[in-house]
Amino acid sequence: MEEQDQILKLDGERIYQAFLSGAYEVIKEKIELNRINVFPIADGDTGSNLAFTMRSIIENAQSMDSPKKTLASIADAALMGARGNSGIIFAQFVNGVFMEISDNESVGVTDFAQTIKKASTYAYKAISNPVEGTMITVIEDWADSLINEKDKAKNFLDLISQSLSAAWKSLNETPEKLQALKDANVVDSGAKGFVHFIEGMLHYLETGEIENLSKQVESFKPNELVMNVHENFDENYRYCVEGIIQSEDEALNLEQIKAELGQMGDSLIIAGNQSKIRLHIHSNNPEELFFKLKDYGKIVFQKADDMKRQYESIYDRKNKVAILTDSIADLPQEFMDQHQVHLLPLNILIEDSNYLDKVTITAQYFYKLMDRLDTYPSSAQPTKREAEKILLELASHYDSIIVITVSSKMSGTYETILRASKHEDLANTDIKVIDSKLNSGAEGLVVKKAAEALAAGHDFKETVKIIEDTIKKTHIFVSVPTLKYMLRSGRIGRAQAFAANIVNLKPVVSIDEAGDGIVIGKTFSQKGNTKKIQELVKEIMKNHRITNYAIVHANGGQRVKEFEEYYTQLIGKAPDYTMEISAIVAMSAGIGAVAIALTTE
């Protein structure tokens, strides 16, 4: 076999091995990269995002019979697995290498250097507002060094070894180019990740081996993070939004997409090509963004991380106990923000695209779609991997976690989170997963009670007991104006719906003690439907005092005001809150549904 220090050309296999070695080196440094992460948001996840991107390359890329084909595989794996600013910038850089490399059986030192130089411009073009002192600066400086060294280098080992020194120099100068880094006395985290990637490539060129890693620790303690004292969370850009758009018919217009999205947020990055792109943006309105994106092509992936809640978890926790609930729980965002309640969204499948309930689609946008779709949407619980991800993140910053889920009779969310809580890295964290046996506003009232209990000073075990007691005393009564949506969503059978519609049946729906949805009243008019709910509430009030209640609805219009006025007078106080139900609940209850959820003493 050719000695490593005599490698003059890289074929597809060597390109593949070098990239894998670089990927493993980045993963090895994940914890340190998280620790020094202060730009653009001090949320301690750059290392995790880059590691996720690298794992996608390791797991999905393949060695092919030429550098270009191999890089096509690596580029696609990077694009599909990219996470965060740095991950997507790296993916676009790799995409540039693939686009610019010659279609030969192997690539020499000079061709490689020239390819990297051309590819460095792809990273810049991906970003709407490039900032020096970040990964793009180090990529460009490394590319320049490759050009300077290519005529002097005897082989690839020599080329990469000499250019690595320039990359380290560029990295160490990042604090002089970016004030946030200087204030925190750190180098840029994403840029450092890229330098480690070059180190990994060099390791392979030196030894002909890849240093496979043993299992890495997945978390770090908050006090280990570098905190930029000048960093404040920007309320205008709450969500870190990512998506993959694919078009099989018309070529994607990257410039048009960039221009339209650029006005909807900050830190916009678009990587990819005319058939598939991955985007990253910080935005306050992910639901509006994805509503626009659906017109460009098929949305094959979407994500929207709540940076506000992430930032609070690291730097401004109000309690050592985290509360996590799913998106079925209808509770005002203002309350969730006040008490730092964490959200795990369920999935809504619309025209082959997977939306995140209450995050990348809200009731407002769902109503615009539900009556014009050929195939009615369906829902799905979070995956075990999604549940593990959020639990691991919370375990990194909280001593214990309380999870309150929608009724296990209505969704597999409870079982999924319960399985996720058994992850070996969560063994030392107290986690209680509670089946609320409720949904919508009723589940929301239980979450509200839990948050208030923690705020009042109750500990983990006391709060769990309060939650379990509250569940037994909480009810919901739903006025359903039409069975059309229950039929379309599959909640009732076609024959049952047909028979009901013949007599214009307008049911009152509730939930029994086991958590099953039940019909407890059958009326023939909206007025009769409303009166039936009033009678049910009055019956409860004969023996119990109502301590909390909420009015929730699906675009309920005037009826919402009528409910508020009636129950304010009946119960003697205004509702704790009134709000639109989640898109998933609206999918079955239908437009016009109005409900009262209540808790007794």
pLDDT at 499 over 50: no
Closest Cα partner for 585 from 331, 309, 239?
331
CA distance 123 to 120: 6
Co-location of 107 and 172 in the same domain: yes
Query: Is 287 inside any structural domain?
Result: no
Co-location of 334 and 193 in the same domain: no
What pLDDT is attached to residue 247?
Answer: 85
Closest Cα partner for 234 from 83, 39, 33?
39
Query: Is 185 inside any structural domain?
Result: yes
Query: Is 199 inside any structural domain?
Result: yes
CA distance readout (Å), 412 to 244, 346, 392: 27, 10, 20
Co-location of 43 and 116 in the same domain: yes
Co-location of 528 and 403 in the same domain: no
Query: Is 267 inside any structural domain?
Result: no
Total structural domains in the chain?
Answer: 3
Q: What residue type is 289 in one-letter code? A: L
Percent of the chain with pLDDT over 90: 66
Co-location of 325 and 463 in the same domain: yes
pLDDT in tens, 59-97: 999 999 999 999 999 999 999 888 888 999 999 999 999
Higher pLDDT, 490 or 177: 177
pTM of the predicted protein model = 0.80
Co-location of 19 and 141 in the same domain: yes
Co-location of 79 and 164 in the same domain: yes
Query: Is 373 inside any structural domain?
Result: no
CATH number at residue 572: 3.30.1180.10
Co-location of 15 and 160 in the same domain: yes
Residue 389 belongs to what domain range? 317-346+381-472
Pairing type for strands 594-600 and 546-553 reads antiparallel
Query: Is 255 inside any structural domain?
Result: no
CA distance 498 to 516: 22
Co-location of 95 and 167 in the same domain: yes
CA distance 442 to 229: 41
pLDDT at 219 over 60: no
Domain boundary residue, one of 194, 213, 232:
213
Residue 481: cis peptide before it, omega within 30 degrees of 0: no
Over residues 530-536, the mean pLDDT reads: 95
CA distance 174 to 187: 6
> Which band of pLDDT confidence, cut at 50, 70 and 90, is reported for residue 314?
confident
CATH number at residue 90: 1.25.40.340
CATH number at residue 336: 3.40.50.10440
Domain boundary residue, one of 178, 194, 213:
213
Co-location of 425 and 519 in the same domain: no
CA distance 94 to 445: 49
CA dihedral 154, 160, 166, 171 (to 10 degrees): 180
Co-location of 455 and 493 in the same domain: no
Tell me the average pLDDT of the chain.
89
Token code pair at residue 81: 């697995």
pLDDT in tens, 111-134: 999 999 999 999 888 888 888 999
Query: Is 228 inside any structural domain?
Result: no
What pLDDT is attached to residue 334?
Answer: 97
pLDDT in tens, 319-331: 999 999 999 999 9
What pLDDT is attached to residue 371?
Answer: 67
Contact yes or no for 343/358 (Cβ under 8 A): yes
Q: What is the DSSP letter of 357?
A: B
CA dihedral 503, 504, 508, 512 (to 10 degrees): 50
pLDDT at 6 over 80: no
Over residues 475-498, the mean pLDDT reads: 64
Query: Is 519 inside any structural domain?
Result: yes
What pLDDT is attached to residue 476?
Answer: 97
Q: What residue type is 250 in one-letter code? A: E
Residue 382: cis peptide before it, omega within 30 degrees of 0: no
290 CA to centre of own chain: 13
Say how many C-beta atoms besides its own lie within 10 A of residue 203's C-beta. 19
Domain boundary residue, one of 152, 179, 213:
213
pLDDT at 220 over 80: no
What pLDDT is attached to residue 353?
Answer: 85
Give Dmax (Cα) for the chain. 92
Over residues 412-436, the mean pLDDT reads: 96
Co-location of 119 and 159 in the same domain: yes
> Which band of pLDDT confidence, cut at 50, 70 and 90, is reported for residue 216?
very low
> Which band of pLDDT confidence, cut at 50, 70 and 90, is reported for residue 483?
low
